[in-house]
């Protein structure tokens, strides 16, 4: 699943860092809107990072590549947000979890299930949704976020 693009096996050059590249947020969410979840993978220590970035927090190296991620994983921890920020208020209580994907990458996301139906270790699958269809107040978005999809986990 690792991108063999040779420009991503050492430090990125300024010209590599464009809005088309998943190493930037527009590029990451652009790929996500097409159904691809892309992480940065450190070629030195194998750390996976979501969203991608140009340096590895684990070892400090800049030899990072892109790696399309599996959408399945398991719940590491979870809770419910009983009083969420105002843009999410009508969705309350919002179940959220930290999920470890089968690649070892981790991310936080909403879970489309009631709190009582979730447990540590549960298998989940990441779905990509349009933010308005997901019910989030569009006023929450910054101008550049308006077209970005949101991710939600469903119990597998």
Give the span between the Cα atoms of 89 and 103, in whole angstroms.
33
Nearest approach, Cβ of residue 75 and another protein (Å): 10
One of 22, 38, 43, 151 touching another protein (CB under 8 A):
151
Residues 9/63, Cβ–Cβ less than 8 Å:
yes
Give the span between the Cα atoms of 32 and 9, in whole angstroms.
22
Nearer to another protein, 27 or 43 (CB): 27
Nearest approach, Cβ of residue 4 and another protein (Å): 26
**Residue 68 interacts with another protein (CB under 8 A): yes or no:** no
Site for another protein in 104-123 (CB under 8 A): 106-110, 115, 120
Nearer to another protein, 65 or 95 (CB): 95
The closest alpha carbon to 1, from 22, 25, 24, belongs to 22
Nearest approach, Cβ of residue 6 and another protein (Å): 27
Tell me the Ramachandran region of residue 75: left when phi exceeds 0, alpha when psi lies from -120 to 50, beta otherwise.
beta
**Residue 79 interacts with another protein (CB under 8 A): yes or no:** yes
The closest alpha carbon to 111, from 86, 87, 91, belongs to 91
Give the tokens for residue 25.
């947020």
Q: Tell me, by CB under 8 A, how many residues bind another protein.
A: 40
The closest alpha carbon to 46, from 2, 77, 107, belongs to 2
**Residue 126 interacts with another protein (CB under 8 A): yes or no:** no
Q: Across the chain, which distance is largest between two alpha carbons, in Å? A: 48
Q: Which stretch binds another protein (CB under 8 A): 9-17, 38-46, 47-55, 59-67?
A: 47-55
**Site residues, another protein (CB under 8 A):** 25, 28-29, 49-51, 57, 76-88, 91, 94, 96-99, 106-110, 115, 120, 131, 136, 140, 145, 148, 150-151
């Amino acid at each position: 699943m690792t991108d063999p693009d040779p420009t991503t096996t050492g430090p990125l050059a300024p010209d590599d860092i464009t809005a088309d590249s998943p190493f930037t947020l527009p590029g990451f969410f652009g790929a996500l809107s097409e159904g691809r979840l892309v992480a940065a993978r450190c070629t030195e220590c194998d750390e996976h990072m979501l969203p991608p970035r140009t340096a590895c927090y684990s070892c400090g190296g800049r030899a990072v590549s892109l790696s399309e991620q599996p959408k399945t994983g398991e719940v590491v921890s979870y809770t419910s947000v009983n009083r969420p920020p105002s843009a999410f208020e009508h969705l309350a209580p919002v179940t959220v979890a930290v999920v470890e994907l089968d690649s070892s990458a981790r991310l936080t996301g909403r879970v489309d299930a009631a709190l009582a139906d979730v447990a540590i270790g549960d298998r989940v699958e990441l779905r990509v949704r349009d933010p308005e269809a997901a019910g989030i107040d569009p006023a929450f978005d910054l101008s550049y976020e308006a077209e970005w999809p949101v991710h939600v986990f469903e119990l597998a």
